[in-house]
Amino acid sequence: MTTTRYANILKPLHLGFTTIKNRVVMGSMHTGLEDRFYNYPKLAAYFGERAKGGAGLLITGGISPNRQGWLLPAGGTMNTLGDIAPHRLVTHAVHKHGAKILLQILHAGRYGYQPFVVSASPIKSPISPFKPREMSDKQILNTIQDYVRTASIAKKAGYDGVEIMGSEGYLLNQFLSRHVNQRADRWGGPIENRMRFAVEIVKAIREEIGEKFIICFRLSLLDLVHDGNTMQDVITVAKALEKAGITLLNTGIGWHEARIPTIVTSVPRAAFVDYTAEVKKHVAVPVIASNRINMPDTAEEILASGQADMVQMARPFLADAFWVNKTATNRVDEINTCIACNQACLDHTFKNQRATCLVNPRAGYETELVYVKTKKAKSIAVVGGGVAGLSAATVAASRGHDVTLFEASHEVGGQFNLAKVIPGKEEFHETIRYFKVQLEKTGVDVRLNTKVNREQLEREGFDEVIVATGVVPRALKIEGSQAPQVLSYAEVLRGAPVGDRVAVIGAGGIGFDVSEFLLKPPHQVQPQPVNEWKREWGVDPNPNYVSEGGMQGAEIEAPIREIYLLQRKKTPLGAGLGKTSGWVHRAQLKKHAVRMLRGVQYKSVTDEGLWIEVDGHAQLLRVDSIVVCAGQESVKDLMPLAGENTLAQYHIIGGAKLAAELDAKRAIREGAELAAKL
Ligand code: NAP
Ligand code: SF4
C-alpha cells in the first residue's frame, strides 16, 4: 500500500515538457564502469535496478566532453557518434521503469590525474601532481562547443538531459571562484566574468538542443576554500544560469581539496540544506538539496518545509536500489542505509577500482552477484551474529534455505555494536537495524545467548555450517600488562572507566576511533547538532554568508583527556586509513592535541604509567589508563581440522577467517558470496 507519510517525496515534478515521477534524484557517482564501453551492460544493469527501485531521476557518473577534461587517463568521454550505442543500453534500462536519466558532463580541469590538464589559471591543485595550462580564449570557446557536442550526442543516446558539473572544484568551479581564477580577461575578475564560461555553456546547449531537454547545473553553494565565493556570488550565478536556460539547479558542497568534511559519516544529516534553501529564494527553477541525506524522514522534512524541490542521494542508492519503493510502501525499516563510510565507493574510485558498497556488495555487481531462489532448500547453521554472519544468514534465507543463526552474546551486530558508540558513527545503528529486520523477514531462526559447539551442530543435522565467529581483541604481552589500568578497546567502548591521561596502543582504524571516543564526554545528544558541528569545523552557519567560501575560524572544545596515540611502525600515523575519510580522523586528533608517536617499542606497565622506547631512548608516559587497540585474533575453533570427518560442510568467513584484515566490507561480501552459492 502506498504511504501518505512521505507524500512530498512521492509527488511528481512537472517540468512543462516532461514530468519526473517523484522528488528523488539518484545523484552522480563514478562507478568506474562508465570508463570502458565493454562494461556498459553491467552499468545498464546497475542503473536499471535503481530505476526499478523507484528513483525518479538518475544522473550518470561524470563523462568528459574532451580529452583535456579527463579525470583519469582514458576516462569516460562522449565526443563521437560511436558513443551512442553503449549509452543506449543505459537509457533503455532506465526508461523501461518510467524514470528519467541525465548524463553528467564533467570536465575535471586541474583535478585531472593526467598530463593534459587545463584550468582558469596555471595553479596546481593539491590533489593532482599535474600543473594545469591556462586556457586561452580560443580554448574556452572550443570547450563550450565540446559541451554542446556531448549534450547533442547524449540526446541521441536517449538521455532526457544533461547535468553540467559546476561544483566540487572541477573546471567550471575553478572558473567561478577566485581560488583558481586569477585571469584579467573577460573570463576572470568580477563574478559576472568568472561565471561567463558556465553561463555560455548553458546558453549554447539550450540554443542547439531546444526546450525539451533537461539541463541541470550543479553549482557550488559553499566552496569551503580560501578566496571562495560568497552567497551573494552564488546567487548571482544561479540567477544567470536560470536566465541562460537551466531546468534544474543542483547543490554542490565543498571542493575536493577542502579540509572540511562534507560527506563522511561524522557530518550530521542534511547539514547543508540551509544554503540550498537560501538560493531557492532567488530562483524559480526547481532546486535540489544534497549531501548526507540518507533516510526518508530527513528527505521528507526538507521537501515539506520548502527548503528544496527535490532531494539528491548518490551513495544511499548504492546501499539500497529500492530506497524509493520501500519508502512508498511503508517499509522504511527495510532500507539498507548508507552509513557514509566511503570504504567501498569513493575509496575504491580514488584507487581506480570499481565502486561498490560496504553494506550492499551487489552494488555495481548486479549481473555477477545474483541471489537466485534455491531449488533444494538446505538446513544451514550460521555461527556468529556479526556482520559476516548476518550477511550470510539473511542472503541464504532469502534464497529459501532453512537458516539458524547462533550468537553467543545477547545481541547481533558484533563489532558494529562497538563502532556505533564512536562519536560521529551513529549511522552504524542503521546497519544493525537493517539486518535485524531482514532476519525477521527472511525467517531466520535466531538463537541469542547460545554458544554452540561442534557436537551440537552435528547433532542438529545441519547440511552446512558457516563459521562467522569473528575475533577477539589482541592482548598486550609486556611486563605489567595484566594490570587493571590496561584495557582492551572493547572494554572501553562498552563503558569501562578510563582515567584523564591515556595511552592508546595501536593506531589503526580502531586506535583512531577510540582516541576520538576519549576526547569528549559520552555524547549527550546523538548525533552531533548541525551548528555545533559547523562551529567545530569552521563552517559559516549563516546561509547568507559573506565569508570567503563560507569559512570562519573553527572553535575547538578543549579535550577532556590527555591522549597519546602510539604505533611501532615508523610510517606516519593513520597512513592506512581510508583515502577519503582518514584525513578527517587525523585532523580531529591533531586539533585536539593528541600526541602521536611512531617507532615506539612497548617495554612495561608500572604504577607510574607506560614505559616505552623511541629511537633507543627510554621514556615514561605518565598515564592512568592504557587502551590496547593492537588488532585482533581470529576465533575459529569450530572449524574442523584438515582430514577430520564431519557430517556437515563447514565454511569460514569474515574476521574468523582472517583477522589481520578484519574489515566489514570483506566480511559482508564474503557472507553474501558464500550464501549466494549454497
Ligand atoms: P589494524 O588496522 O590492523 O591496526 C592494529 C594496530 O595495532 C596497528 O597500528 C599495529 O601497528 C598495531 N599492532 C599490531 N599488532 C600489535 C602488537 N602485537 N602489539 C602492539 N601493537 C600491535 O586494526 P584495527 O585498528 O583493530 O582495525 C581493524 C579493522 O577495522 C581495520 O582493518 C579496518 O578495516 C576496520 N576499521 C576501520 C575504520 C575506518 O576508519 N575506516 C575504523 C575502525 C575500524 P604497529 O604494528 O605499527 O604498532
Ligand atoms: Fe554508503 Fe559506505 Fe556503501 Fe559508500 S560504501 S555507499 S558510504 S555504506
Lowest mean pLDDT across 99-103, 370-374, 527-531, 631-635: 527-531
C-alpha grid cell for residue 152? 547533442
Atom of ligand 1 nearest to the CA of 578: 41
Specify which residues 19 forms β-bridges with.
Answer: 14
Residues 500 and 383 in one domain: no
Question: Per-residue pLDDT tens for 233-263?
Answer: 999 999 999 999 999 999 999 999 999 999 9
**H runs (alpha helix) in 305-422:** 315-319, 323-328, 346-350, 387-398, 416-419
Which residue, judged by its Cα, is nearest atom 6 of ligand 2?
315
Ligand found nearest the CA of 422: 1
Ligand 2 binding pocket includes 319 (Cβ within 6 Å)? yes
Domain assignment of residue 539, yes or no: no
* Preceding peptide of 296 cis, ω within 30°: no
Which pLDDT value is given to residue 662?
61
Its domain, for residue 594, covers: 486-520+560-630
Q: Are 468 and 392 in contact (CB under 8 A)?
A: yes
Q: Are 66 and 201 in contact (CB under 8 A)?
A: no
Which residue, judged by its Cα, is nearest atom 2 of ligand 1?
508
C-alpha grid cell for residue 165? 558539473
Measure 510 CA to ligand 1 centroid, in angstroms.
6
Q: Which of 333, 351, 369 is the last residue of a domain?
A: 351
Is the pLDDT at 644 greater than 90, yes or no? no
Domain assignment of residue 245, yes or no: yes
Measure 504 CA to ligand 1 centroid, in angstroms.
11
pTM of the model: 0.95
Residues 398 and 295 in one domain: no
Query: pLDDT band at residue 524, thresholds of 50, 70 and 90?
Result: low
Which pLDDT value is given to residue 1?
57
Which domain CATH number covers 643? 3.40.50.720
Question: Per-residue pLDDT tens for 567-607?
Answer: 999 999 999 898 889 999 999 999 999 999 999 999 999 99
CA 374 to chain CA centroid, Å, is: 33
- Comparing 73 with 671, the larger pLDDT belongs to 671
Ligand found nearest the CA of 320: 2
Is the pLDDT at 499 greater than 90, yes or no? yes
- Mean pLDDT, rounded, for 436-456: 97
Ligand 1 binding pocket includes 506 (Cβ within 6 Å)? yes
Ligand 2 binding pocket includes 635 (Cβ within 6 Å)? no
Which pLDDT value is given to residue 370?
97
Residues 188 and 245 in one domain: yes
- Mean pLDDT, rounded, for 272-276: 98
Q: Which residue out of 291, 338, 349, 426 has the highest number of ligand 2 atoms within 8 Å of its CB and is therefore the one to mutate? A: 338
Which domain CATH number covers 70? 3.20.20.70
Ligand 2 binding pocket includes 342 (Cβ within 6 Å)? yes
Q: CA-to-CA distance for 187 and 545, rounded, in angstroms? A: 24
Ligand 1 binding pocket includes 630 (Cβ within 6 Å)? yes
Query: pLDDT band at residue 48, thresholds of 50, 70 and 90?
Result: very high
Is the pLDDT at 126 greater than 70, yes or no? yes
Residues 446 and 503 in one domain: no
Domain assignment of residue 304, yes or no: yes
Is the pLDDT at 164 greater than 90, yes or no? yes
Ligand 2 binding pocket includes 387 (Cβ within 6 Å)? no
Q: What positions carry a catalytic annotation?
A: 170
Measure 442 CA to ligand 1 centroid, in angstroms.
34
Atom of ligand 1 nearest to the CA of 660: 3
Query: pLDDT band at residue 521, thresholds of 50, 70 and 90?
Result: confident
C-alpha grid cell for residue 300? 521528507
Ligand found nearest the CA of 578: 1
Which residue, judged by its Cα, is nearest atom 1 of ligand 2?
338
Question: Per-residue pLDDT tens for 345-363?
Answer: 999 998 889 999 999 999 9
Ligand 1 binding pocket includes 510 (Cβ within 6 Å)? yes
Measure 146 CA to ligand 1 centroid, in angstroms.
48
Is the pLDDT at 643 greater than 90, yes or no? no
The closest alpha carbon to 198, from 223, 235, 165, belongs to 165
Ligand 1 binding pocket includes 584 (Cβ within 6 Å)? no
Q: CA-to-CA distance for 255 and 678, rounded, in angstroms? A: 45
Structurally, how many domains does the chain consist of?
A: 3
- Strand duo 445-447 + 402-406: pairing: parallel
Which domain CATH number covers 569? 3.50.50.60
Specify which residues 502 forms β-bridges with.
Answer: 563, 625
DSSP 581: T
Lowest mean pLDDT across 79-88, 151-160, 232-241, 656-665: 656-665
- Mean pLDDT, rounded, for 198-210: 98
Query: Per-residue DSSP letters for 205-267?
Result: HHHHH-SSSEEEEEEEEE--STTPPPHHHHHHHHHHHHHHT-SEEEEEES-TT-SS-SSSTTS
The radius of gyration of the chain's CA atoms, rounded to the nearest angstrom, is: 26
Residues 390 and 261 in one domain: no
Atom of ligand 1 nearest to the CA of 663: 34
Query: pLDDT band at residue 541, thresholds of 50, 70 and 90?
Result: very high
Residues 142 and 184 in one domain: yes
Residues 102 and 237 in one domain: yes
Is the pLDDT at 115 greater than 80, yes or no? yes
Domain assignment of residue 2, yes or no: no
Measure 129 CA to ligand 1 centroid, in angstroms.
30
Atom of ligand 2 nearest to the CA of 318: 6
Residues 436 and 491 in one domain: no
Domain assignment of residue 164, yes or no: yes
Domain assignment of residue 650, yes or no: yes
Measure 362 CA to ligand 2 centroid, in angstroms.
12
Is the pLDDT at 650 greater than 90, yes or no? yes
Which pLDDT value is given to residue 523?
63
Residue linked to cell 577500482: 353
Residues 496 and 623 in one domain: yes
Query: Per-residue DSSP letters for 89-151?
Result: HHHHHHHTTT-EEEEEE---GGG-SSTT-EESSS---TT-SPPPEEPPHHHHHHHHHHHHHHH
Domain assignment of residue 367, yes or no: no
Query: pLDDT band at residue 554, thresholds of 50, 70 and 90?
Result: very high
Residues 271 and 137 in one domain: yes
- Mean pLDDT, rounded, for 403-422: 96
Ligand found nearest the CA of 490: 1
Domain assignment of residue 373, yes or no: no
Measure 437 CA to ligand 2 centroid, in angstroms.
19
Q: CA-to-CA distance for 393 and 292, rounded, in angstroms? A: 30
For 646, list phi and psi in degrees, rounded to 5: -135, 155
Residues 96 and 228 in one domain: yes
Query: pLDDT band at residue 528, thresholds of 50, 70 and 90?
Result: confident
Ligand 1 binding pocket includes 663 (Cβ within 6 Å)? yes
Residues 228 and 93 in one domain: yes
Ligand 2 binding pocket includes 343 (Cβ within 6 Å)? yes
Ligand 2 binding pocket includes 341 (Cβ within 6 Å)? yes
Ligand 1 binding pocket includes 511 (Cβ within 6 Å)? yes
Specify which residues 161 forms β-bridges with.
Answer: 102, 214
Measure 361 CA to ligand 2 centroid, in angstroms.
10
